[in-house]
Structure formats: structure tokens, C-alpha cells
Structure 1
Amino acid sequence: MACQSTNEEMTLLDNIEHVTISKSIGYREFNEDYLDSINGATAINGFEDVLKSAKGVKQEIDVTKEKPDYDIMIYYENGDTHLLHLALGSKDQESQFMYMGHEKNVFIVSSEYTNKLRNILDVR
């Protein structure tokens, strides 16, 4: 798997109002059967911190053989939305976010932020 740094950061369109999470059914698809929702200010602020920490890389992902763990819909206060895929790393490992439809642009989250993300998502 080739990686190449792009030094890009994830773009937040406004303040996050809430976030919905579902088990992913695959890249380029979005599962609307939500498992959970992030609504509280503390959890939303933590989630924003995780996204802001993500660093972009160009990376080839075999979207026919691999599958992200979660689909995430971000709802912003201004009415905009973002659809993301999340490949959640195990404890003390990196995670990867991708904007749906742009799977070659991966945003890497450090192991420290993966642990924070696992707490927010209540994944053990």
C-alpha cells in the first residue's frame, strides 16, 4: 500500500451540530441504519479535535476488497453535511477517515486520537 503525504487537513464546514454513526456496508455506499448519535457538547468537541488532528495522505485502497468499519454523517449548524468512512484502528493504532467518494484521499489519525475516538464511540 503506497502512501504519500499531502499535508492536507480535514475541512469542517461550520460548527458541528450532531454526528450519526452506522456500521459500514462498504466504500462508496452509506448505511443509514444508525447505531448511535453524538449530540453532547463534550463529545462533539472531542470529535472535532480528532478530525482537526487528521493528516491527509494519498493512498490506494482496494474498495472492492476492503471495507471501512463505520459510516459517519456530520451535520453542521449551517445545514451542511459531510459523509465520511472510518477505518477505526485498534487501541494504540492509527485510524483512517475518508470523505465518501474520495477514498484515495485518506486522513490519518494518530494512535492517541484513535484512543480518544474509541472512547467517544464507546468502542472497547
Structure 2
Amino acid sequence: MKKIILLLTLSFCALLLFACQSQDKQMTMLDDISSISIFESDGYGGINENFVTTIDKDTIISRFEEAFKDAEGRKQKVDVDTEKPDYDILIRYENGETHGLHLVLGNTGEKSRVMYVGHENNGFDISPEGTKGLRGVLNNH
């Protein structure tokens, strides 16, 4: 009987540890987006406070939403000391909450990568089509 209880306890602990390490498969949007501020990045771990532009037009915001909702989560190794994202993005939601993101913008025909500030080892790959949409917006602002 003690062996069964011990086995069940160990199985539960292993399951709990496995669940805690699972990677989100898609990005989480907290509410409808009210605005997106874009910054040239100074590096990982925070957001540069000298913004390049703020976007509040629904048609342009929807391009970001489409790219982010289709992004696929994956574990990654980021050397925060030597690598640097291209842009920092601050998403403001209608409910007042915010998300800080880092964006590594891919070249035309390539994937891009986005990650939450402070969670750089859990990234999301944006498709080449999503990269094209983001490039179009960023090149015009």
C-alpha cells in the first residue's frame, strides 16, 4: 500500500513538473489592442523609452494582431549579452493592461521572432507572410 501511495505521489509530482515547463503554443492577447508603440531596441530585458511611432489605427493594428495570433511558440536560446532585437513593442489594450515585446524582424521571405520582455527564451515564430505585413507597417512609420 505504501508503495502505491509513493508511486502515485511521484507520478503526480512528475506530471506537475512537466506541466510547468510546457511552452505556450500561441501568443496571449489580453484584450482588444488600443495602440502599439514601436521603439528601436537597446537590447533584451527592457523597453527603450524613446519611441519611434505609436500606431492607433485599427487597420494597421489588425496586421500586428494577425501576425501575432498565427505565431508559433518555441523554446530558444538567446544570448542577451551579445544579441539584440530590432524593435521593442509596447502593446496597450483597451482594458488598460500592457505587454512589452521584443521583435527580431526577419528579411523578406523569412520568419520573424517575437518574445515577451523578460521571457526571451520562450519565443514565437512569425511566418514569412506575417513578416511581410510587419515590414510594410514598420517601413511606413
**TM-score, normalization by structure 1:** 0.92
5+ residue gaps, structure 2, are: 1-21
The answer to whether 1:10 aligns with 2:27 is: yes
Runs of 4+ in structure 1 off by over 2 angstroms are none
CA shift at 1:35, angstroms?
0.3
Structure possessing the higher relative contact order (Cα contacts under 8 Å, 6 or more residues apart): 1
Of 63, 74, 77, the match for 2:94: 77
Q: Which runs of 5+ in 1 are unaligned?
A: none
Matches of 1:48 and 1:33, distance apart in 2: 23
**Structure 1 or 2: more strand by fraction:** 1
> RMSD of the TM alignment (CA)?
1.4
> 2 CA distance for matches of 1:49 and 1:30?
23
Q: Which structure features the higher share of helix residues?
A: 2
Whether 2:131 is the aligned partner of 1:114: answer yes
Alpha-carbon separation, structure 1, partners of 2:117 and 2:129: 24
Q: Structure 2 CA distance, aligned partners of 1:38 and 1:28?
A: 23
Count of matched residue positions in the alignment of Structure 1 and Structure 2? 119
- Find the aligned partners of 2:129 and 2:92 in 1 and give their Cα distance: 25
- What do residues 11-64 of structure 1 show as CA deviations (whole Å, max 9, x unaligned)? 000000000000000000210100011111100111111110110000111111
TM-score w.r.t. structure 2 length? 0.81
